[in-house]
């Protein structure tokens, strides 16, 4: 049996997905990026393969993607996370006819518009600024002395109106959050306010290229139920969130690795 | 075929035209000495007042032919009018308005005057765009009068009394072709005012004034008279049917205006219109200087029956620029 | 400015400039296999100009121009050498930041920085600077140059170019400029001198057009990063030498026609580049496109195709006809977004996209450049209607956005691959 690996080297976490010859997911893992991302990546891959009882030599094609895609010499090929993300959504959602993908990553966020065949028609990314990205959520959690995973619960517990976060810059927003807390505002409303602020930003970005139903929401922050709720409110649409939203891009890369291997095989045979 | 096309496109149509005009002038003005006669329905000013002409300008017979009572239009004379018109059309349709740019003796004379002026280093003058728009209408007025006046001699138009017979060829009496072209055969007899009647006196007097204007105008303004020419107006009515055409591919046009800049009659549309395929305007004389000045490959082209005969190419443009400079 | 500080600024900026230039040249030369041999002339030219302290400037008077709209034919006919001053250096951008608001366009700031230091990039010795009144930032930059001590002629331009009034206004403006030139150089512009200038620049333009035409070949024969170096060299290189080098390059490319350019086969997406001009050493975006596997087969920028495409035609060899002809050449076909209408630019882009079999368009607008940002919408719409994908990129001379840009550019190129394969 041959396997194909997709490695998404993000700024916050490294995501690895394996698919088999039929293209079905046969394993995945997520590890923090850390400073020695190359070493961490290879270790995580080895661990995953051992768990699944797969030999390294059975991995026929390795495709890297994400911000650090070019820093992995072991990769057979690199691909941008945008293409990989679209391929992942296509593989996961199947016949669900996804037309828009909203991805919030560790340091950027992007919106992809797909055609009926699931190919990219247009896309936009945020500017070189961390506002409206996962980093913004991390900063919020840090200032509240809580974990990112808790943000969703806090949001859901909020009873009053979400607080309005006016600063669009992460650095200024940080001091704004601190001062809001100092003025005695509730954590819950503040978290909800942060979620709405991010959602509003990304929806504004999405409107540049147009939003078409259905909308697929992925990336780590999609695990956050508060974030999902805020986004749905701002979009005025229901969104599809996959079971493991942070893995979509890695799964896409693995799927593309399989296709690439088949294509090269055909070329060799031809 | 490609080599031939490239050779033609690299050619200098202005030089070709210079010689062609000279040949056409000689033929039309002196052809009669060789007993040549190509009929009297020519779509160009081969003036009937030149004794040695090789054919006659259609405007002269046209004025005569429409000079008949309404009742005769359906009779034999009506057929004569129709035959004349069809002959004119057949001549015209072949070369379209290139008759003006390549054959018209009066046009050629104006081009010679322009050459003289340029050689003297005297600046040309240009019309402002609005003036141009107003002046161009004159030729249609002249064409209308050219047909209505003879009609008014044989018929009572709009309840008016019938007009005097002296108005029969009224246009020819004021046309500078009548006064200027015979000069080339040494005949200055037309340069006079006819005092036989008040009508003739007025007409030939006006003719003399226009002749003066013709020379003065041609000296400061390229193809000055052509803007008022009723032949040009009559031709334009049939121009869309012409087999020879000037075409434009608007998509290739950068609107650089080179074509319009070299245009002797100052047509702006040639540069600014990017949608029309057939780009011949009513003042266009199809001299094709614009094609030679266009640096965009396949943008402007001369076609005959849809086949490109001479096309603008980047290569041809550069060849002409270099050649011109070497000739000084 | 305090003398010592100024000297330090000059030194540090010089170091940064050489670093930038070296890095850009490294990417241009080393990251691509099989560069045309005739490109060595241009690589060496830039190395000498930017990394070796600048080539020696010969004795002729040097007239700087801030935009393409100054008719170079007149400058040459007046016996002077035109130098295009627009700078692409991040080091100069930082040096120029003190004269302009932070949100101003990198190109204008860099040009100001260069001219404030007078050390390189053509600013060493200038007898006159022509400032065609294009965008507001360039206009104000021109005004600042007077404070720097330059002799500046503001070449007044109309805000639209379609009307007859605009054309007449511009022709008068150019006529006035001709008089200023004569006064500056002490050389009379005669019809013979102007005819020669029109012919020699016309030949240079012809040589460029030949190179341009070769890019229509189904397999890309030359990369955009090289073409942009060639056209950028026109900013400051000797006219005859440049024309000879381009002719040699075109000859070599013509011979290559049968061989496939390695790394850029017929499946490589063909890109049309438009928007704010990439000027050496800021070839960031063009390089990213070609590093990602695309090939820029054609561009519509004022540092390249718009600089060299249009040709002069005149009817009578006399100044009364030739000076307006030269004026028309820079105004009428110009697709600069400062003009009222974007129609000509849209038409030009659509024609280039069709005739060069382009798979996608990359639209660069420098942060702070309003005119290009404003036209993005109408251009984008026209391209959507023509079913041509477009990637819009807002960037500046800073290196910070490199990572994010490369992701966007790669994704765009990847999305075009299917289309390119279908075409081939």
Q: Kindly state the tokens that stand for A43.
A: 């270790």
DSSP H helices in chain B: 2-10, 13-30, 59-65, 76-95, 98, 105-119, 129-135, 138-154, 170-174, 176-180, 198-220, 230-238, 258-262, 269-272, 289-293, 314-327
* Every domain of chain B and the residues it spans: 14-235, 242-321
Distance CA C104, CA C136 (A): 10
- The count of other CB atoms within 10 Å of the CB of residue A91 is 22
The residue in chain B having the minimum alpha-carbon distance to the alpha carbon of residue C205 is B318
Res. A37: pLDDT tops 80: yes
Q: What pLDDT, on the 0 to 100 scale, is given for residue B65?
A: 93
Q: Is C195 on the interface with B (CB under 8 A)?
A: yes
Tell me chain A's radius of gyration from C-alpha atoms. Answer: 19
Query: What residues have CB less than 8 Å from C99, skipping those under 6 apart?
Result: C109, C112, C113, C116, C141, C144
Q: What pLDDT, on the 0 to 100 scale, is given for residue B157?
A: 84
Q: Do A128 and C401 touch (CB under 8 A)?
A: yes
Q: Is A144 on the interface with C (CB under 8 A)?
A: no
Give the mean model confidence (pLDDT) for residues C311-330. 94
Q: What pLDDT, on the 0 to 100 scale, is given for residue C54?
A: 58
Res. C55: pLDDT tops 60: no
Taking CA A180 as the corner, what is the angle to CA A176 and CA A185, rounded to the nearest 5 degrees?
155
The answer to whether the CB of A248 falls within 8 A of the CB of A92 is yes
Query: What residues have CB less than 8 Å from C285, skipping those under 6 apart?
Result: C273, C278, C362, C364, C393, C395, C405, C409
Find chain A residues with C-beta within 8 A of C407's C-beta. Answer: 67, 80-82, 108, 125
Residues 187-246, chain A: which have Cβ within 8 Å of C?
none
The H or E element spanning position C363 is: strand C360-366
Find chain A residues with C-beta within 8 A of C412's C-beta. Answer: 123
Half-sphere exposure of A236 (CA within 13 A, CB side): 3
Q: Do B121 and C318 touch (CB under 8 A)?
A: yes
The separation between the first and the last C-alpha atoms of chain C, rounded to the nearest angstrom, is: 59
Find chain C residues with C-beta within 8 A of A128's C-beta. Answer: 400-401, 404
B289 CB-contact burial (10 Å; exposed 0-12 / middle 13-18 / buried 19+): buried
- Which chains border B (3 or more CB–CB pairs < 8 Å)? C
The residue in chain B having the minimum alpha-carbon distance to the alpha carbon of residue C204 is B318
Q: What pLDDT, on the 0 to 100 scale, is given for residue A132?
A: 76
- Identify which of C340, C344, C392 has the alpha carbon closest to the alpha carbon of residue C364: C392
Using CB atoms, pick whichever of A67, A108, A119 lies closest to residue C415: A119
Range with lowest mean pLDDT among B90-99, B252-261, C79-88, C259-268: C259-268
Q: Do B261 and C354 touch (CB under 8 A)?
A: no
Which pTM does this prediction carry?
0.89
Q: What pLDDT, on the 0 to 100 scale, is given for residue C1?
A: 58
β-strands C128-132, A13-20: how paired? unpaired
Q: Do B321 and C347 touch (CB under 8 A)?
A: no
pLDDT band at C262 (very low <50, low <70, confident <90, very high): low
Res. C58: pLDDT tops 70: no
Q: What pLDDT, on the 0 to 100 scale, is given for residue B242?
A: 94
Give the mean model confidence (pLDDT) for residues B86-115. 96
Q: Do A79 and C414 touch (CB under 8 A)?
A: yes
Tally of residues, chain A: 270
- Which chains border A (3 or more CB–CB pairs < 8 Å)? C
Q: Is C263 on the interface with A (CB under 8 A)?
A: no
Q: Do C414 and A82 touch (CB under 8 A)?
A: yes
A153 CB-contact burial (10 Å; exposed 0-12 / middle 13-18 / buried 19+): middle
Distance CA B41, CA B57 (A): 6
Distance CA B307, CA B122 (A): 40
Q: Is A117 on the interface with C (CB under 8 A)?
A: no
User: Which residues, listed in sequence order, are joined to residue A111 by a DSSP beta bridge?
Assistant: A102, A124
The residue in chain C having the minimum alpha-carbon distance to the alpha carbon of residue B121 is C318
β-strands C360-366, C270-275: how paired? parallel
CATH class of A3-127+203-269: alpha beta
pLDDT band at C121 (very low <50, low <70, confident <90, very high): low
Q: Do C389 and A83 touch (CB under 8 A)?
A: no
Measure CA C3 to chain center: 34
Q: What are phi and psi of C108, to 5 degrees?
A: -70, -40
Distance CA C11, CA C258 (A): 48
DSSP, res B103:
I
Using CB atoms, pick whichever of B250, B261, B318 lies closest to residue C325: B261
Using CB atoms, pick whichever of B256, B274, B325 lies closest to residue C332: B256
Range with lowest mean pLDDT among A12-21, A168-177, B211-220, C106-115: A168-177
Q: Do C407 and A128 touch (CB under 8 A)?
A: no
- Identify which of C267, C257, C264 has the alpha carbon closest to the alpha carbon of residue C295: C264
Find chain C residues with C-beta within 8 A of A101's C-beta. Answer: none
Q: What pLDDT, on the 0 to 100 scale, is given for residue A270?
A: 43
CATH class of B242-321: alpha beta
- How distant is the Cα of C270 from the closest Cα of chain B, in angstroms? 20
Tell me chain B's radius of gyration from C-alpha atoms. Answer: 21
* DSSP secondary structure, chain A, as one string: --EEEEEEE-SSEEEEEEEETT--EEEEEEEE--S-HHHHHHHHHHHHHHHHT--GGGEEEEEEESTTGGG-TT-SEE--HHHHHHHHHHHHHGGG---EEEEE-SS-EEEEEE-TTS-EEEEEE--S--TTSHHHHHHHHHHHTS-GGGHHHHHHH--SPPPP----SHHHHHHHHHHHHHTT--HHHHHHHHHHHHHHHHHHHHHTT---SSEEEESGGGG-HHHHHHHHHHHTS-EE--SSGGGHHHHHHHHHHHHHHHHHHHHHH-
Q: Do C199 and B322 touch (CB under 8 A)?
A: yes
Distance CA B225, CA A148 (A): 87
The residue in chain A having the minimum alpha-carbon distance to the alpha carbon of residue C415 is A120
Query: What residues have CB less than 8 Å from B248, skipping those under 6 apart?
Result: B270, B273, B274, B276, B277, B279, B299, B300, B301
Q: Kindly state the tokens that stand for A92.
A: 């996961």
The residue in chain B having the minimum alpha-carbon distance to the alpha carbon of residue C197 is B325
Whether B and A touch, i.e. at least 3 CB pairs below 8 A, reads as no
pLDDT band at C261 (very low <50, low <70, confident <90, very high): low
Task: Please give the mean pLDDT across all residues of chain C.
Answer: 92
The residue in chain C having the minimum alpha-carbon distance to the alpha carbon of residue B253 is C348
pLDDT in tens, A221-254: 999 999 999 999 999 999 999 999 999 999 999 9
Q: Do B254 and C348 touch (CB under 8 A)?
A: yes
The residue in chain B having the minimum alpha-carbon distance to the alpha carbon of residue C352 is B252
Query: What residues have CB less than 8 Å from C281, skipping those under 6 apart?
Result: C17, C20, C21, C23, C24, C25, C50, C88, C89, C90
pLDDT band at B239 (very low <50, low <70, confident <90, very high): very high
DSSP, res C281:
T
Q: What pLDDT, on the 0 to 100 scale, is given for residue C123?
A: 67
Q: Do C350 and B289 touch (CB under 8 A)?
A: no
The residue in chain C having the minimum alpha-carbon distance to the alpha carbon of residue B123 is C320
Q: Is C389 on the interface with A (CB under 8 A)?
A: yes
Q: What are phi and psi of C227, to 5 degrees?
A: -60, -40
Give the mean model confidence (pLDDT) for residues C387-408. 90
* Every domain of chain C and the residues it spans: 3-423
The separation between the first and the last C-alpha atoms of chain B, rounded to the nearest angstrom, is: 32
- How distant is the Cα of C391 from the closest Cα of chain A, in angstroms? 8
- How distant is the Cα of C219 from the closest Cα of chain A, in angstroms? 20
Distance CA A146, CA A136 (A): 14
Q: Do C414 and A125 touch (CB under 8 A)?
A: no
Q: What pLDDT, on the 0 to 100 scale, is given for residue C57?
A: 61
pLDDT in tens, C329-355: 999 999 999 999 999 999 999 999 999
Distance CA B217, CA B264 (A): 13
Residue of A9, A64, A80, A89 to mutate, interface with C, max C Cβ within 10 Å: A80
pLDDT in tens, B54-67: 999 999 999 999 99
Residues 37-76, chain A: which have Cβ within 8 Å of C?
67
Find chain C residues with C-beta within 8 A of B220's C-beta. Answer: none
pLDDT band at B328 (very low <50, low <70, confident <90, very high): very low
The answer to whether the CB of A128 falls within 8 A of the CB of C404 is yes
Q: Kindly state the tokens that stand for A229.
A: 């709720």
Q: Is C415 on the interface with A (CB under 8 A)?
A: yes
Find chain A residues with C-beta within 8 A of C401's C-beta. Answer: 128
The residue in chain B having the minimum alpha-carbon distance to the alpha carbon of residue C167 is B257
The residue in chain C having the minimum alpha-carbon distance to the alpha carbon of residue B249 is C351
Residue B303, classed as helix, strand or coil, is strand
Distance CA B63, CA B153 (A): 11
B159 CB-contact burial (10 Å; exposed 0-12 / middle 13-18 / buried 19+): exposed
Q: Kindly state the tokens that stand for B11.
A: 């050619």
User: Which residues, listed in sequence order, are joined to residue C65 by a DSSP beta bridge?
Assistant: C84, C130
Q: Do C206 and B318 touch (CB under 8 A)?
A: yes
pLDDT band at B326 (very low <50, low <70, confident <90, very high): low
- CA dihedral sign of residues C90, C94, C96, C97: positive
Half-sphere exposure of A194 (CA within 13 A, CB side): 36
Identify residues of B whose CB sits under 8 angstroms from chain C CBs: 118, 121, 123-124, 128-129, 250-258, 261-262, 268, 271-272, 274, 289, 293-295, 314, 317-318, 321-322, 324-325, 328
- How distant is the Cα of A128 from the closest Cα of chain C, in angstroms? 6
Query: What residues have CB less than 8 Å from A27, skipping those under 6 apart?
Result: A17, A18, A48, A49, A51, A52, A54
Q: What pLDDT, on the 0 to 100 scale, is given for residue C56?
A: 59
Distance CA A145, CA A222 (A): 21
Find chain B residues with C-beta within 8 A of C319's C-beta. Answer: none
């Amino acid at each position: 049996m041959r396997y194909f690996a997709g490695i998404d080297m993000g700024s916050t976490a490294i995501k690895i997905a394996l698919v088999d010859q039929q293209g079905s997911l046969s394993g995945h893992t997520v590890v923090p990026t850390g400073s020695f991302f190359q070493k961490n990546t290879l270790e995580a891959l080895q661990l995953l393969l051992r768990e699944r009882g797969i030999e390294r030599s059975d991995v026929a094609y390795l495709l890297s993607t994400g911000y650090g895609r070019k820093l992995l010499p072991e990769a057979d090929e690199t691909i941008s996370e945008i293409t990989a993300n679209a391929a992942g959504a296509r593989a996961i959602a199947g016949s669900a006819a996804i037309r828009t993908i909203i991805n919030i990553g560790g340091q950027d966020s992007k919106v992809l518009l797909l055609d009926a065949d699931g190919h990219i028609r247009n896309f936009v990314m945020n500017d070189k600024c961390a506002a409206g990205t996962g980093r913004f959520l991390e900063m919020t959690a840090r200032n509240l002395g809580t974990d990112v995973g808790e943000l969703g619960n806090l949001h859901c517990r909020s009873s009053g109106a979400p607080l309005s976060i006016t600063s669009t810059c992460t650095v200024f927003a940080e001091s704004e959050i601190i001062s809001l807390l100092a003025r005695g505002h509730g954590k819950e409303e503040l978290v909800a306010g942060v979620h709405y602020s991010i959602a509003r930003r990304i929806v504004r970005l999405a409107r540049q290229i147009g939003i078409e139903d259905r909308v697929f929401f992925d990336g780590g922050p999609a695990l956050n139920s508060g974030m999902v709720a805020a986004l749905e409110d701002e979009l005025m649409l229901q969104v599809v969130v996959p079971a493991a939203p942070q893995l979509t891009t890695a799964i896409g890369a693995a799927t593309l690795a399989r296709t690439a291997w088949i294509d090269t095989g055909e070329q060799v045979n031809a | 075929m490609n080599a031939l096309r490239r050779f033609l496109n690299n050619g200098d149509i202005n030089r070709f035209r210079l010689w062609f005009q000279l040949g056409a002038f000689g033929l039309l003005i002196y052809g009669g000495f060789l007993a040549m006669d190509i009929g009297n329905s020519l779509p160009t000013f081969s003036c009937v007042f030149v004794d040695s002409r090789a054919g006659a300008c259609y405007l002269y017979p046209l004025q005569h032919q429409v000079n008949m009572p309404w009742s005769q239009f359906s009779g034999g004379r009506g057929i004569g009018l129709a035959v004349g018109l069809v002959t004119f059309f057949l001549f015209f349709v072949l070369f379209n308005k290139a008759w003006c740019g390549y054959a018209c003796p009066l046009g050629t004379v104006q081009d010679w005057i322009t050459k003289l002026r340029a050689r003297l280093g005297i600046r040309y003058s240009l019309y402002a765009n609005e003036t141009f728009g107003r002046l161009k209408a004159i030729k249609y007025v002249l064409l209308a009068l050219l047909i209505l006046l003879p009609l008014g001699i044989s018929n009572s138009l709009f309840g008016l009394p019938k007009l005097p017979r002296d108005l029969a060829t009224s246009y020819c009496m004021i046309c500078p072709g009548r006064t200027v072209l015979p000069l080339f055969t040494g005949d200055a007899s037309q340069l006079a005012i006819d005092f036989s009647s008040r009508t003739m006196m007025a007409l030939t007097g006006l003719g003399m004034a226009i002749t003066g204007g013709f020379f003065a105008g041609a000296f400061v303004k390229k193809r000055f008279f052509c803007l008022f020419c009723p032949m040009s107006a009559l031709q334009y009515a049939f121009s869309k049917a012409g087999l020879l055409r000037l075409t434009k591919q608007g998509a290739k046009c950068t609107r650089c205006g080179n074509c319009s800049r070299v245009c002797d009659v100052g047509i702006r549309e040639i540069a600014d219109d990017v949608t029309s395929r057939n780009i011949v305007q009513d003042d266009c004389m199809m001299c094709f200087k614009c094609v030679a000045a266009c640096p965009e490959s396949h943008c402007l082209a001369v076609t005959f029956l849809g086949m490109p005969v001479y096309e603008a190419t980047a290569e041809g443009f550069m060849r002409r620029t270099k050649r011109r400079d070497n000739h000084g | 400015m305090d003398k010592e500080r100024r000297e330090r600024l000059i030194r540090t900026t010089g170091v940064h400039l050489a670093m930038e230039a070296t890095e850009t040249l490294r990417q241009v030369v080393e990251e691509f296999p099989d560069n045309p041999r005739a490109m060595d002339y241009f690589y060496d030219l830039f190395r000498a100009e930017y990394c070796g302290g600048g080539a020696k400037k010969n004795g002729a008077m040097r007239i700087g121009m801030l935009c393409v709209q100054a008719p170079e034919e007149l400058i040459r006919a007046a016996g002077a050498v035109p130098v295009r001053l627009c700078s692409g250096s991040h080091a100069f951008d930082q040096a120029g930041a003190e004269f302009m608001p932070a949100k101003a366009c990198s190109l204008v700031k860099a040009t100001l920085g260069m001219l404030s230091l007078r050390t390189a990039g053509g600013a060493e010795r200038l007898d006159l600077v022509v400032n065609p009144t294009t965008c507001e930032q360039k206009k104000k930059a021109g005004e600042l140059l007077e404070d720097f001590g330059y002799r500046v002629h503001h070449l007044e331009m109309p805000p639209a170019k379609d009307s007859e009034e605009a054309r007449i206004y511009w022709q008068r403006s150019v006529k006035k400029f001709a008089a200023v030139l004569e006064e500056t150089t002490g050389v009379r512009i005669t019809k013979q001198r102007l005819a020669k200038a029109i012919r020699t620049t016309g030949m240079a333009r012809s040589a460029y057009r030949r190179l341009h035409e070769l890019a229509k070949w189904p397999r890309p024969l030359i990369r955009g990063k090289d073409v942009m170096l060639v056209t950028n060299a026109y900013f400051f290189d000797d006219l005859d030498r440049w024309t000879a080098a381009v002719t040699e390059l075109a000859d070599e490319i013509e011979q290559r026609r049968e061989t496939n350019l390695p790394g850029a086969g017929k499946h490589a997406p063909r890109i049309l580049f438009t928007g704010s001009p990439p000027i050496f050493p800021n070839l960031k975006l063009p390089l990213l496109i070609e590093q990602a596997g695309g090939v820029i087969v054609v561009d519509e920028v004022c540092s390249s195709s718009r600089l060299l495409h249009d040709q002069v035609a005149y009817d009578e060899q006399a100044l009364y006809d030739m000076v307006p002809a030269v004026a028309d050449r820079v105004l009428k076909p110009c697709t600069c977004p400062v003009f009222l209408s974007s129609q000509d630019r849209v038409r030009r882009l659509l024609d280039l996209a069709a005739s060069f079999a382009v798979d996608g368009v990359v639209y660069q607008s420098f942060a702070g450049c309003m005119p290009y940002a404003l036209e993005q919408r109408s251009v984008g719409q026209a391209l959507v209607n023509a079913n041509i994908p477009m990637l819009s990129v807002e960037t500046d001379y800073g290196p910070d956005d490199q990572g994010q840009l490369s992701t966007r550019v790669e994704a765009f190129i990847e999305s075009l691959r299917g289309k390119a394969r279908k075409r081939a």
